[in-house]
Amino acid sequence: MLSRRKLVGTLLAAAGLPTGGWAQKLRTSIIEGAGTTLRRAAAQRGIIYGAAVNTTELREQDFAAALAREAGLLAPEYEMKRAIVERIQGQYDFTGCDAILAFARTHDMLFRGVPLVWHKRNPDWLEKAARESRDETLITGFIEKTAGHFRGRVHSWDVVNEAIAPEDGRADGLRDSFWLQVYGPRYIDLAYRAARAADPGTLLVYNDWGCELGAPANDRFRAATLDFLERALARGVPIDALGLQGHMRAFGTPVDQTKLAVFLARVKSMGLRILVTEHDVDDSGGPSDVALRDRAVADASRRFLDVMIDVAPVALLTWGLSDRFLDAPGWRASLTGYRPRMLPLDGSLARTPMWYEMVGAFAVR
């Protein structure tokens, strides 16, 4: 079947009308005239669209209103990181997470948890305590407390994040993190079993990046991920879904759609569901012309999403909604005025070409 984008072009061509600017204007008119949002467009395909957000962003009323229109699921950008939640050992602070959850519930949105076990963004005391005591409750206790606090109110949990790193040279492909060094591979089993016990009705996700692109390193990562999932499931580890972060580059290695599709079919054959958890498109290294960068960002997003949406992911989140809150450090930004344009809305909350391509990808084909 033709996509809506191709159908509009075909109809215009048949009518003898231009298919370039005319087509774009007509698509824009149809989409905006129908009151389309990412949330509504995704829902037509049975997918939940969402975004990461933080409490500082929610204080800006125009942004909060845009978020309420566009998103149906929220993930805390940083407030659920262990360095924030348990800055002092044994003392838990869910204030930021609770505020985001309250906003989500007010606007009929779902809420997801990220991540329970990660080798980054941990409090200063944690690694030392783990190495000295080898106490498993440093894993399970945090999960029990955190997942228990939100029990029954979370759509899905990223239980373990980024545990795979083939470049570290292990036969099993696991990252040589302090978690692995202290507890061995069983830390993964401990984490998922603790999460299942603490919040039994919630989707438990393994989340990572590196499976999306087409370079040889991505081939190795895909193979390691499949091996990891097969071994974990064979041990009875309660993983329900794979989360692909979906960080793309506008001017770099592109998505290999065939390789990605084959990989996703293998994942689904294991009985696992799929989510896109952190999608954005890095436009650094490109031309200074904003229109050219925007087009490259939109095309990279569409190339990725055309494959992902065909496998019917449970949810698709972007890592943020608006470019307003992005910062570009370094000499290039200071000399050229470069500001990233990586997300569906720009700094003024106008819809970018990426937004339109995402809606096009969601459209029924």
Q: 281: part of which helix (H) or strand (E)?
A: strand 273-282
Radius of gyration of the chain (CA): 21
Q: What is the pLDDT along the chain (365 residues), one digit of tens a residue?
A: 334 444 434 333 333 333 344 345 445 544 554 589 999 999 999 999 999 999 999 999 999 999 999 999 999 999 999 999 999 999 999 999 999 999 999 999 999 999 999 999 999 999 999 999 999 999 999 999 999 999 999 999 999 999 999 999 999 999 999 999 999 999 999 999 999 999 999 999 999 999 999 999 999 999 999 999 999 999 999 999 999 999 999 999 899 999 999 999 999 999 999 999 999 999 998 998 999 999 999 999 999 999 999 999 999 999 999 999 997 655 445 545 678 999 999 999 999 999 999 999 999 66
Distance from the first to the final alpha carbon of the chain: 5
CA-based angle 358:360:361, to the nearest 5? Answer: 65
Question: Using CA atoms, how far apart are residues 269 and 57, in angstroms rounded to an integer?
Answer: 39
Question: And the tokens for 315?
Answer: 């949810």
DSSP state, 340?
-
Question: Using CA atoms, how far apart are residues 6 and 11, in angstroms rounded to an integer?
Answer: 9
Q: Which residue has the tokens 């991920």?
A: 225
- Sign for the CA dihedral angle at 38, 43, 44, 46 comes to positive
CA-based angle 73:77:83, to the nearest 5? Answer: 135
